[in-house]
Structure 1
Amino acid sequence: MKIGIITFQCAHNYGAVLQAFGLKEVLKSSGNSVNIINYRPPYKINSYRKFNPRNWLSKNPYKCIIRFFTEIIVKPTRIKRWYGFEHFMNKYLDLCPYDKDDDYSAFQALVLGSDQIWNPGLTGGNFDKVYFGGNAKCDIISYAASSRFDSLTEEQKEFFSNALPKLKQVSVRESSLANLLQPIINKKVFTVVDPTLLAGKDIFDKIAISPKEKKYLLLYQIGQWDKLNAFTAKIARKLDLEVIEIVSHPMMPRKGRIQTASPCEFIGYFKNASFVVTTSFHGLAFSLMYNKQFYCLKQNTNADLRLLSLLNKLGLNNRFLEPDEEPAFDNIDFLSVNDKLEKEVQYSKEYLDNALN
């Protein structure tokens, strides 16, 4: 079967490119011909450009000067990081060109997702119809589509009730989103695992690059949060580990801060970590994949829903702490966790097989 995937493959974000790679590899392993459609909307790529005046412009002249000199220091990192992500995309994602007039009739099926493709906050402020299949004449399914909704407005309900019926099958990544969508569409909404977990370490081990560092606590957060940094330092002292932080965007250099890791090196850092602290969904996913002792910190925003949905399924709510909560340092029973996760993976694979066949 010839299958096209539409997702957030162009974002210079570790989770985005690795979930795209994972889904593509899983579909290929079943004997399908698979391409990721290289849709690169301006709202998605503008923030990752090598040269972007927004990195240093400000209405405040003082801030503008500070940002300008900061950008001079950060620029080499930004460029190296940009080339690292673009190299990964071109080498590993089996991209095919996007055409706005394409009806995808060259494909037998179109898979929408995963990642937050149904989050208007990440698609230019509105729902992007490309991520709902556009004018596709082939079968359309969603796989682990995600958003950050904790409720839907009447306008959003109307959009989903009109857009989703043309999909042959609908699946989302979080149970909270499934609960919101189920009452407004006349078909079952499945909840499945993220493609990184669907693919598993057997697939990611093939491209992982191990770091030179030994015995370290890995910190991975989106942005910078002082409370998380303090929490991480406390755990590192307790375990006598060096802190290595992979950052989500270029910033001022600091000891232990890894800014230009390729997606392959990102996997290697998780694979070889002694402990992980994260606020990222994909930070959690790779911690589970490689059976790492970890803690997630609550941000008390809608972003917590993504982590909570997965932690609930695996009985790991005690690994999701408030910023001022004291960690217990008890070890995770990965025999039990892996058994629960494998059942979720098998359920998700069955959904994918049935939806495509």
Structure 2
Amino acid sequence: MRKVGIMSMQRIANYGSFLQAYALKQLIEKVGCNVEFVDYHVGAPVIAENADSKNKVVRKIEKGLETFRYQAPLAHKLSFIRYKQSFARKYMPLLGIADEMNYNPTVDCLVIGSDEVFNCIQKNSNVGYSPELFGKNNYAKKLITYAASFGNTTLEKLEKYKKANEVGALLKKFDAISVRDANSGTIVEQLTGKEPVYNLDPVLTYDYMNCCDKIPQVQTNEKYLILYAYAGRISNDEADWIAAYAKKKNLKVYAIGGIQKCADRFVDCSPFEVLAYFRNAEEVITDTFHGSIFSVITHRPFTTLIRKSVGNSYGNEEKLSDLLKRLGLANRMTTKIEDTENINEKAIDYAKVDEQLKAHREVAKEYLRKNLS
């Protein structure tokens, strides 16, 4: 049986990162391969700014203190800290990931992706700049990607920070390249002269709601909307609007993934329970890529808030607009929280969306079969 390594963002304490890693593992195992996760050495970030240029210990302490500066109930803050601290211990074993790092193993094929593995022009010291994410120093007989993304790293940024030549040279060594969005596809084409395959994120490709037996039933005695956003990204004005909106609709606000000023409850749960909570929600408000995907696969009414990139700040516009346009759901996006009421009142033709997903899933499975068999 072929031995396949996956190099992704699998150690990030984040539901989306976990569920995409788990999904890709399932998809590759279905091809008949043994799978292990591969780690990369984190280098210094290309953009060194403020706290993000400090060492990991200092940054971790500052992130913890930052939690207490958010406007949210104290109980939610303490629960959020426990959730972050216990995430790896609780959930990494479900991926077969040990505490010991797995650097540069010998495998038949190394699959880099999915997630923003190519998003190298940024300032997050937890991710940094690592040529290993572009395949450098690998010990694999074959090197491919699956739904890899440059995030909001653009060709202009690669050239500005003088990384285009190095990245281009490394990309040319891949046996096959699959990307998940147009920006990433454009960069690959410009740097290699080859057109990549487009595949959806594994959370969409792996049919969680029909194939995964780990999603439990979650019982609540109240109706709720889910606010799925990172802590600190929902402004005070947005939070106040959401609180009033939920009250008008007689819904509780459940915050998942981050603490929020307007939340009635912060939900600390397993990644599989996240999908159960989404399945039972009346509606969803999110400003994240995977929050939008969770809404789609659970057939929820949802609104996606678009954040534009300004300077070196992190935006979500490129990846979210690309995703939702591919699924015919561009009308779920807005930059104004006040649009949520009208957007969530519009029914989504999920039968049509599911037909599109079915076709995308076949393309993805064929790509994996072709390159892993």
* Structure 2: gaps of 5 or more residues: 46-53, 310-314
1:216-231 aligned within 5 A: 216-224=224-232, 225-226=234-235, 227-231=237-241
**SS of match in other structure, 1:218:** strand
Are the counterparts in 2 of residues 80 and 260 from structure 1 also a CA contact under 8 Å?
yes
- The 1:316–1:99 alpha-carbon spacing in structure 2 relative to 1, beyond 3 Å, is closer
2:280 counterpart residue number: 272
- Residue by residue, what CA displacement relative to the aligned partner does 1:207-245 show, whole Å, maximum 9, x if unpaired? 223433242111101233124434534553554322211
Cα distance change on mapping 1:229 and 1:129 into 2, 3 Å: same
User: Is 2:180 aligned against 1:173?
Assistant: yes
User: Does the 8 Å contact 2:155/2:164 carry over to 1?
Assistant: no
Contact 1:279 1:298 in 2 (8 A): yes
Match of 2:51 in 1: none
Alignment RMSD (CA, Å): 3.3
Instruction: Identify the range of structure 1 (303-312 vs 116-125) with the bigger mean alpha-carbon deviation.
Output: 116-125
Q: CA 1:14/1:238 → structure 2, altered by over 3 Å: closer, same or farther?
A: same
Q: Which runs of 5+ in 1 are unaligned?
A: none
Q: TM-score, normalised by structure 1?
A: 0.84
Letter in 2 for 1:94: G
- In structure 2, relative to structure 1, the CA distance for the partners of 1:217 and 1:66 (3 Å cut) is closer
Instruction: Give the deviation of 1:203 after TM superposition.
Output: 6.3
Label 1:255 to 1:76 Cα distance change in 2 as closer, same or farther (>3 A): closer
Question: CA 1:308–1:255 in structure 2 vs 1: closer, same or farther (change >3 Å)?
Answer: closer
Distance verdict in 2 for CA 1:256–1:89, change over 3 Å: same
- Give the aligned partner of residue 88 of structure 1: 91
Residue 209 of structure 1 aligns with which residue? 216
Q: Find out whether 1:186 has 2:188 as its counterpart.
A: no
1:84 Cα shift?
3.8
Matches for 1:7-46 after TM superposition, within 5 Å: 7-39=8-40, 41=42
After superposition, where does 1:266-305 map in structure 2 within 5 Å?
266-301=274-309, 302-305=315-318
SS at match of 1:112: strand
Q: Residues 35 and 94 of structure 1 are in contact (CA less than 8 Å); yes or no, is this contact kept in structure 2?
A: yes
Label 1:162 to 1:10 Cα distance change in 2 as closer, same or farther (>3 A).
same
Q: Is the 8 A contact 1:109 1:356 kept in 2?
A: yes
Residue 113 of structure 2: aligned partner: 113
State whether residues 37 and 95 of structure 1, in contact with CA within 8 Å, keep that contact through their aligned partners in structure 2: no
SS in 2 for 1:166: coil
Is the CA contact 1:208–1:268 (under 8 Å) kept in the aligned structure 2? yes
Matches within 5 A, 1:8-157: 8-39=9-40, 41=42, 52-55=60-63, 74-75=77-78, 77-90=80-93, 92-95=94-97, 98-100=101-103, 102=104, 104-105=105-106, 107-120=107-120, 121=122, 124=125, 127-138=129-140, 139-146=142-149, 147-152=151-156, 153-154=158-159, 155-157=162-164
Alpha-carbon spacing, 1:315–1:66, altered in 2? closer, same or farther (3 Å)? closer
Q: Does the 8 Å contact 2:283/2:302 carry over to 1?
A: yes
Please tell me the residue identity of whatever aligns with 1:240. N
Distance 1:23 1:195 in 2: 5
Q: 1:170 to 1:265 in 2, by over 3 A?
A: same
Give me the identity figure in percent.
26
CA displacement at 1:291 relative to structure 2: 1.0
Name the CA distance, whole Å, in 1 between partners of 2:41 and 2:187.
Answer: 29
**Cα 1:238/1:177, change in 2 over 3 Å:** farther
1:198 to 192, 205, 214: 205
Give the TM-score normalised by the residue count of structure 2. 0.80
Deviations 1:299-354 (A, max 9, x none): 12341211111111111111101215532421011111111122122212222222
User: Relative to 1, partners in 2 of residues 1:39 and 1:263: Cα closer, same or farther, differing over 3 Å?
Assistant: farther
123 and 347 in structure 1: CA distance in 2 versus 1, 3 angstrom threshold: farther
CA distance in 2, matches of 1:47, 1:279: 28
